[in-house]
Amino acid sequence: MCRPTHFNVKYEINPWMRPGDPVNVQKATDQWERLKRTLEESGAQVEVMEPVGADNYPDLVFTANAAVVRGKNALLSNFFYPERKGEQHFYDRWFKQNGYETFKDLHVPFEGAGDALWIGKSKLFCGIGPRTDVRALTLISEKLRDYGAPFKVYGFRLIDPRFYHIDTCFCPLNDQIAIYYPYAFDPVARHNMSNEVELVPVHEEDAMRFACNSIVIGKTVIINSGTEHTASMVQKLGFTVKFVDMSEFMKSGGAAKCCTLQL
Per residue of the chain (263 residues), give pLDDT as tens. Answer: 999 999 999 999 888 889 888 899 999 999 999 999 999 999 999 999 999 999 999 999 999 999 999 999 999 999 999 999 999 999 999 999 999 999 999 999 999 999 999 999 899 999 999 999 999 999 999 999 877 778 999 999 999 999 999 999 999 999 999 999 999 999 999 999 999 999 999 999 999 999 999 999 999 999 999 999 999 999 999 999 999 999 999 999 999 999 999 99
Identify the bridge partners of residue 119 per DSSP, sorted by sequence position: 123
Please give the Cα distance from 30 to 246 (Å, whole number). 10
Please give the Cα distance from 173 to 5 (Å, whole number). 31
**Assigned fold of 25-259:** L-arginine/glycine Amidinotransferase; Chain A (3.75.10)
**Neighbour count for residue 214 (Cβ, 10 Å):** 26
- Per-residue pLDDT, 174: 97
Domain coordinates in residue numbering, the chain: 25-259
Amino acid at 212: C
- Per-residue pLDDT, 21: 86
- Per-residue pLDDT, 148: 73
Residues serving a catalytic function are 165, 258
